[in-house]
Structure 1
């Protein structure tokens, strides 16, 4: 039996003991499953994702859920960046452990189980020291951090001081809504994708917005504009956002559907 560790919020521990680990994460393609990492001799390598996952918040800290999977269980293994290139390989669980254990530097690697974890596969749940691992990416220490809206996390400890010290040209405050709507109108019909995506970027930094004026972009012929629309309105408290996201969840392009899934998981 191959042993893996899955890191999750301590608040999820009672549910995991009772029902197992839900298949909530999205892997390559449309598969949903659970991310984990092989249990290695090195505690630091085994729990290397702790500090990075802690950046996104947790209730009561993170705990380590140890899983026992059949050696022949098919899983995907690879570096985090390989998700985008669809380069993570589908291999038996035992082979995934051997591959990662043989690496000189296994930092940034991960294993994806394309299904939920059943309760009988939970070996134990224990507290994990919250100081292990890297943040942002392996070897990021000493590099200038990026403070753009896509990289920073709202409310993260020290983020305000970091933005004051290293301002980014894409930081807010965004232009007034009337200015952004004028840019969208001037882009024409159906509209220049570059102009529309720039306006939607700034709309995404707002807490509310003119949803009715942006809703027609849900039928724009460029799927990247539709995906930008998802990210722009996802955090709005404006009534009707849920209905618009439900419409875009059935979009014919996979990038738009994935964007909807991501914002729903984040909230």
Structure 2
């Protein structure tokens, strides 16, 4: 039996003990499953993803879920950079452990199980202090940080000063709310999809927003607008976000439903 560790929110630990780990992460080729890493002799290498995952916040900290898989279980293995170009290999769980343990530098490697983890496969769940691992990417220390929306950390130490010193040409700062609302109103009713999606892009960079003014977009005829609305409000702390997203979980378009499912999974800490 091959032993792996899956890192997740400590808030999800009781549910994982009862029902296992849900297959909600997107892998190579759009497959749904669970990311994990072999348990190596080095604690630091085994838990190398801790600080990177910790950048995105988690309820109650992070937990390490130790998982036992049959040696013949088919999994995907490779560096995280191979995922986008389809370069990860499908191998047995035992072969994935052999490959990674034999590397001189396994930082940035990952194993993807293309299914849910059953309760009987969960060996143990324990707290995982966020004191080891790399951030952003291996060997990032000493390189110029990126301030694009995907890389920057909201509320991180020195984050505002970093964005002011190294402004990104495409990702900010977002226009004021009144300007964005004027663009939404100018787009018409139901509204030009291009103009609305551009405004929603900027709204998604805010912590709060005028939910009541954007709620009508949940019934926009363009599914791209409805999907972008989901992503725009997903990180808001404005009351009513859940009520807005709930009907979209049954949207007729698959992309909108999957966006709501992904947002709910993040909120559940999986």
Shorter-chain TM range is: 0.7 to 0.9
1:21 matched residue in structure 2: 20
Question: Which consecutive residues of structure 2, in runs of 5 or more, have no partner in the other structure?
Answer: none
| Corresponding residue pairs, total | 263
1:54 matched residue in structure 2: 54
Q: TM-score, normalised by structure 2?
A: 0.78
Of 243-252 and 134-143, deviating more is 243-252
- 1:182 Cα deviation after fit: 3.1
- 1:15 Cα deviation after fit: 5.1
Q: TM-score, normalised by structure 1?
A: 0.78
Instruction: Give matches, 1:107-126, under 5 Å.
Output: 107-126=107-126
1:79 matched residue in structure 2: 79
- 1:52 Cα deviation after fit: 0.7
1:181 matched residue in structure 2: 181
Output the CA distance in 2 between the equivalents of 1:30 and 1:6: 19
- 1:203 Cα deviation after fit: 2.1
Q: Secondary structure at the match of 2:131?
A: coil
Q: Secondary structure at the match of 1:35?
A: strand
* Bigger relative contact order, structure 1 or 2 (CA pairs below 8 A, ≥6 apart): 2
Q: Deviations over 1:162-203 (max 9, x none)?
A: 3344344533463233x323323444675252x333211222
Output the CA distance in 1 between the equivalents of 2:12 and 2:240: 30
1:244 and 1:88, CA in 2 relative to 1: closer, same or farther beyond 3 A? farther
Of 36-45 and 239-248, deviating more is 239-248
- 1:130 Cα deviation after fit: 3.4
Output the CA distance in 2 between the equivalents of 1:88 and 1:119: 27
Structure 1 vs Structure 2 CA RMSD: 3.3
1:207 matched residue in structure 2: 208
1:155 matched residue in structure 2: 155
Question: Which consecutive residues of structure 1, in runs of 5 or more, have no partner in the other structure?
Answer: none
Output the CA distance in 2 between the equivalents of 1:187 and 1:51: 42
Of 67-76 and 119-128, deviating more is 119-128
